[in-house]
Amino acid sequence: MSFSSQLRQEANYIYEAIFNHPFIKGIAEGNVPKEALIHYVSQDYEYLTAFVRIYGAALTKCRTRTEMEAFNAGISTVLHSEVHPHNNFCEVAGVRYEDLHTETLSPTASHYINHMTSVAHTGSLAEIIAVLLPCPWTYVEIGQRITEQVNPSPSHPFYEWIQFYNNEEMNGTTQWFCNKLDELAEQVTEEERNRMKDHFIKSCELEYLFWEMAYTQEKWPLSQLSLSK
């Protein structure tokens, strides 16, 4: 079994928890609370901005132009393409995407970004891929799972979101990173493979918590208390 397959197997309980989260079930059913959609987009905008920076850090550790091209393409996707699923959520919520770019990071989003940034600054290219991979991988599988369960038509409220993450380009990109992770895992020590596993599992956990954060509209509790005075 490949290293990425081992990671996916060990994280299966987290993937299943994500698939069964009420936010994800709401996407499949076409019924997510407006406030949850807004909070998700405002937090994911900041998260993806950090994701671009992590890709940039990975570029400095690439050994070949092929590796560089993969991360460069990833940067372009985040900056120019992932606007579309955000816009889908905004359209359903009845808000303007441009108005959601100034929210303070929630505790969970802040923790997730700090987790990735720490690995980007201190880890190898293999470790950076391990910490980044759960984001695209879980989304691709969410898109596939919802498509299998619902087979949404263009009239589905979240049709564009589902289609974006269930397409050949997203699946191909995720598979490239899995293959690269497997290749690099063969070249590193057992100690580094263990770090890669730890980074991956923690990112998977934080993917689940990100959906929970959005669904519950998580804020910094004491800051909210001070605002109410």
Positions annotated as catalytic residues are 135, 207
Q: How far apart are CA 112 and CA 108, in angstroms?
A: 6
Alpha-helical runs (H) found in the chain: 3-10, 12-19, 22-29, 34-59, 65-76, 83-93, 107-122, 125-132, 134-150, 159-165, 168-185, 190-216, 221-227
**What is the CA 82 to chain-centroid distance, rounded?**
11
Instruction: Output Rg (C-alpha) for the chain, integer angstroms.
Output: 18
The residues, ordered by sequence, that sit 6+ positions from 90 with a Cβ below 8 Å of its Cβ are 37, 38, 41, 96, 97, 100
Tokens 């057992």 belong to residue: 190
CB 11 within 8 A of CB 198: no
